[in-house]
Each structure stands twice: as structure tokens, then as C-alpha cells.
Structure 1
Amino acid sequence: MFKDKDSIVVFVLYIVLSVSQGLLVTATKSAKGGYSFNFTTVVLIMEFCKLLVSIIAFLMHNSILSLQREIFKNIKFALLYVFPAALYCLYNNLQFVNLANFDPTTYHILLQSRIVVTGFIYQIFFAVNLNIKQWISLIILTLGCIIKQIDLLNIQQLSTSTSNISYAILLVLAQVTCSSIASVYIELLIKSKNNQVNIWLQNIFMYTASIFCNLIVLCFSGSLSDIISLDSITSIFQIPVLLIIANWVGLGLITSLFLKNLNSILKTFASGLDLVFIAILSSVFFSIPITGFTVLSILVISLAFWMYSKDPITRKETAVVGEKLNSVKNGVIEDS
């Protein structure tokens, strides 16, 4: 699964930061399950921090003039990042709608369909047909994640608060599809054939587009004044919240390296392994019991990962990448 040691380091770091994020968010919850800070403000500040870190990382080996030159040179390529940024923005907004329609456990169970959806999207974008073993491992991974979510609540309590269950499920599917397309599309941009655009420059494009999309949504929703209020801003100056922001920034940056060195399919398995480690560490730090459901989930997810490791996707370049993106006139991506 790993072409070199760097890939292994990126894989491990992604899991460590993902697990840390889950533990940090859990630690900041109040007894009633709420937060003492404005989560939307934290997300927006996080995007600005990721943009700043990406700029600093680029300038460590390049001049400011070089940054300006590269931005203008690849402006058409930069515009391609508006699409995944808009999808992630839509994903975040659909999250609130879907959590209003479903109880948290039902919602997270339905959300696990993104594993299989990512498989289909990956095939379409990269023209790579997953074989039977790979599909079986993805389905087993999905079941393992669902088992872990069921563990959070008695199965008889799973419910929806809307009478139109079909419409509610379609909204969850739309949310899942947005996330899957955005992730695979970003991988497509990063790995595009003959693409010589610096990874940090691509991060700058992505986070700029993300900030732009989020600000537009907040302006139209009339929520911008709420997140930039004095109370919202001062609420983030707590050590746990600052740790969340720092960890989240690191996770966002390592994700781009993950997609560059590995792929979106392996990323779904890494997310499944997150559940395993979070369950174990939550038992240690928060005295959350490890139940039979948790043990079964760990075994099933481990089986899925083992199956995939026996027959992983190893294709490094695809014939359709340049073909899909060469419509960008004068862009940096061309099909040789």
C-alpha cells in the first residue's frame, strides 16, 4: 500500500491527527453536549490559519515575487479549486439540516455510505475499476463503521424527526456525495499528469477558495456578524480551543499530502481506523466503556483493512486525468 517511507509517515500522521481531533472535541464538550465557543468562528479561523501556514511553507523555499508570479501564472488552475471548496461548503451546511432531521446516531450511520460512494466516484474520476476484493473490503469497512455508530445508542432508538424519510435520506446522500466528489476531485488536481504546481501553492488556492465560499454563504445567511462578534472571537482564546484549531490546521495540511502520496480509497480506511483508536483512547481518557459492539466493530474494521492491504490500489497515474482537465485553456495541466 505504501510506495515509500514518506507515505507511511503521512498515513500515520493523518490517523494521529484525526484521533487527536476527535479526543480534543470530546474534551471541550459541556455536560449537556454543547460547546463554550462558536464552532463556525473556529472553522473560519482554522481556514485562515491553514492559508497562512501554506503561504509561509511556500515562502520558505521561494520569494514573495515568486509567489505572485506563480499565482498569476496558474490563475486558471486556481479557479478549479472553487468547485471542491463550494462542495465542502455545501457539505457543512447540509450537515446542520441532516442533524435536524435525524438523531446523531442515525445520521452517522447513514453517513458511512460515503465509503462506498467514494469507491464509485473514484472509479469515475480515475477510470480505475475496483476489483471484487477491494469492493468487499469497502463494504466490510462500511459495516464496521456502522456497528461502531450503533454502539452509541440502542438500535430501537434510531429515528428521524421528519415524516418524509425518503427526502431526508436523499439529503444525507447529497451531503455524502459532495464530500466524496470534493475529496476525489482534489486528488485528481494534485495528481494530474504533468502537473508541476507546488503542493503548498495548491493549498493556498484551496483555502482561499474555501474562505471565499464560506464568507459568501455567511453573508447571504446573515450570520457573518454573529461569528465576528466580540463574544465569538474571545471565546476561542481558551487552551483547548486553540489546540483544536492547531490540530485541525495540521490535519488539513496533512490531508493534502495524503492525497498526493496515497489515495482517497486508502483515506476511507484511515478514517475507519480512526474509530478504532478513538474508541480505545476514549476508554482510557474519558472512561467510556468498550462494549461488545465496540470490540466487534474493531474486529470488522481490522478485517477490512487487512483484506484491502492484500490487494490495494497501486496505480500512480491515470490516463484520463489530463483528458478531463485539458479544457482549461492555457492551464498547467495538459494531456501529453
Structure 2
Amino acid sequence: MLSKAQFLKHLSLLVLTIQTTTLVMVLRYSRISSGDNSGHYVSSTAILLSEIIKLMVCLLILLYQTNGSLTSLTQLLRKEVMAKPGETAKLLIPALLYTIQNNLLFLALTNLDAATYQVTYQLKILTTALFSVLMLHKRLALNQWLSLVLLMIGVTLVQWPQSETQSQPKDISSDELETAISVVIDEPLGNRLIGLLAVLASCFSSGFSGVYFEKLVKYTSQSLWIRNTQLALFSVITATIAMCVQDFDLIYINGFFQGYTTLTWIVVLLQAFGGLVVALVMKYADNILKGFATSISIVLSTVCSYYLMTDFYPTTSFLSGASIVIAANILYAF
């Protein structure tokens, strides 16, 4: 019989896997459903809306926990958020790192081919484990370290481009799914050293920010939903800045909701829901298990892409990688 904590741990990982897989499929379909790029929605506006929705959901949950009293909610926010600027400011770190990380990935994809990018970016699996050991004092057995290396190899093979001329990389997993960014690189490759340094910096940023947030959620006195509210607040600010820097002219000319359809709103809601699920995973599981859940979702989304969208055909590298991912999951559990 599973304890409540174990049940919530497994449930949160299962929901994260399903959510991530669904988001990849809906996001991909939403980006190709229009006949031309002019009909696409601006991804930075979708990111901002998802952060706003996450903030609203967190506030509603806190309102429920205070028995529906707006006065009690206001007092709680004043006590836990405004009266503790030091604690609140701690969430500025992961919010800024997520923004910096996404820009680093744009830089990396501008300077690297898809194959090199896919291989090097999987180092985030090991950097996450490394920061978990250093910051949370986790102790990993030899078989667990081996499973992490196998997972990195398996995910690399699963996402390996189908041809050397392929210019559109696969949908990016983990932190990039949390921001729902889809990138197509048409320009010639630039400086490979800059691209490699950008990927490596992003790997360390991803590992550190994820473990840092896990530490705040698990090992501080403030509740999960207070921490989520603080993170969502800073995320709204950084997403607004990023939107203005990247797409201000486009939004000014065509409007904030250009290209929005019912499917777009589903993407926004899935994205917001995913952010909340990740917080639950941080509370009841950890970043390493989150990486395994995300890896499984990559395999599932690729299989769904074959059966539902017919835009992918399994290769030897995919089948080998999928088998390695499954084996790595089994090895880590034992």
C-alpha cells in the first residue's frame, strides 16, 4: 500500500508525462494548422498569457485555503509576499534564469546544426543530477548514475534529426516546453564555438534553476502555493519584457491576439497547467524524476506524431533511443 506522499509522487509524475505529451502534440498542430506563417499566433503572447493564468490559479487556490475570504487572502499575501521581500526575491532568480536560458537556446540554434544541438543539450540531464547532489545533498547509487548517462544517450537518439539537411529541430523538451517556444532556423550556421558555449550555459542554467526551485519548495517554511505565486509574479514580469523586446512591432501592427483560435487557447491552458504540475513534482518528487518523465513524454509524443499526424517515420536511431530510455527508467528504479 502506497503512502499518501508516494501516491502523490507517482500521480504527479504520471500527470506531467501526459501533460507534456499532449502539449507537444497540440503545440505542433497549432503551429502548422495555418496555411502560412502570417496566420500564426505570436508565441511570446501565449507564454505571457499562460503565466498570467498560472498566477490567477495560484491566487484562487490561496483564496480557497483562506475560506474564500478576500480580506484573509490580502492579509496572507501581505504577510508572506510583501512583508518578506527577501524570500520573495529568491524567486526572481529562477524566473530570470528561465528567460536567459530561452535566449541562449535561440543563440545556440542560430549557430549550431540540429544534431550537435540535440547531443549537447542533453547534458542538462547530468547537470541537474550534479546540482541535486551539491545543493540538496542527494546520494545517487552507481546504477542511478549509469541510468542517467543512458537516459542522455537515449533522448539524444530519439531526437536525432532524420536527415542532415533537416533545418527544423524537434520540439524542445523540459524547460522549452514550459515556455512553448517553437524555433525554425533558416539562416546559415554561425560561430560553432558561440553555439556550444550557449548550449553549455543553458544546460547549467537549466540544472541550477530547477534544483534551486525544488529547494525553495521543499526546504523553506512558505507553502507550495505561496512559492508558486511568487514565481508566477516574476514570470509575468519577465515574460512581458521578453514579449516587448522580441515582438513589439509585430504586436503593435497586428494586435496581441493575432492568429488566436480555440486551439491556441488550449495551448495556453495546457502550458499554464503544466507549470502547476511541475511545482507539484518538485514538492513530491524531484528534478531527476522530472527528467525521466519528460524523456518518456518525448518518446510518446514522437509515437503519437507517427500515428496521428503522419509527420514522422521511425528510424533505427529512434527505436534504439526509445529502448534505451525505457531501460534507463527501469535501471534507475532498481
Bucket of the pairwise TM-score, normalised by the shorter protein: 0.7 to 0.9
Counterpart of 1:129 in structure 2 is 139
Quote how far apart the aligned CAs of 1:130 are: 2.3
Counterpart of 2:116 in structure 1 is 106
Counterpart of 2:227 in structure 1 is 202
Quote how far apart the aligned CAs of 1:217 are: 4.6
Match of 1:152, SS state, is coil
Counterpart of 1:296 in structure 2 is 320
Residue type at the aligned position of 1:205: Q
Quote how far apart the aligned CAs of 1:9 are: 1.4
Counterpart of 2:99 in structure 1 is 89
Counterpart of 1:172 in structure 2 is 199
Quote how far apart the aligned CAs of 1:166 are: 2.6
TM score, norm. by length of structure 1:
0.83
Q: Which moved more, 1:58-67 or 1:296-305?
A: 58-67
Residue type at the aligned position of 1:15: T
**Rounded Cα–Cα distance in structure 1 between residues aligned with 2:103 and 2:270:** 22
Residues 88/38 of structure 1: CA separation in 2 closer, same or farther (3 Å cut): same
1:120-145: per-residue Cα shift (whole Å, max 9, x none)? 11111112232221111000000001
> Unpaired segments of 5 or more residues in structure 2?
170-184
Quote how far apart the aligned CAs of 1:272 are: 0.9
**Rounded Cα–Cα distance in structure 1 between residues aligned with 2:249 and 2:285:** 39
Residues 216/276 of structure 1: CA separation in 2 closer, same or farther (3 Å cut): closer
Match of 1:234, SS state, is coil
Kept after mapping to 2: 8 A contact 1:84/1:186: yes
1:137-166: per-residue Cα shift (whole Å, max 9, x none)? 000000001111224334999999556423
| Correspondences of 1:191-230 after superposition (within 5 Å) | 191-192=218-219, 195-218=220-243, 221=245, 223=246, 225-226=248-249, 228-229=251-252
The percentage of counterpart residues that share the same residue type is 22
Residues 181/148 of structure 1: CA separation in 2 closer, same or farther (3 Å cut): same
Kept after mapping to 1: 8 A contact 2:122/2:156: yes
Residues 117/262 of structure 1: CA separation in 2 closer, same or farther (3 Å cut): same
1:243-266: per-residue Cα shift (whole Å, max 9, x none)? 101111111100000100000111
Q: Which moved more, 1:2-11 or 1:117-126?
A: 2-11
Q: Which of the residues 252, 261, 278 maps onto 2:275?
A: 252
Establish whether residue 66 from structure 1 lines up as the match of residue 72 from structure 2: yes
Q: Which moved more, 1:80-89 or 1:107-116?
A: 107-116
TM score, norm. by length of structure 2:
0.84
Q: Which moved more, 1:255-264 or 1:146-155?
A: 146-155
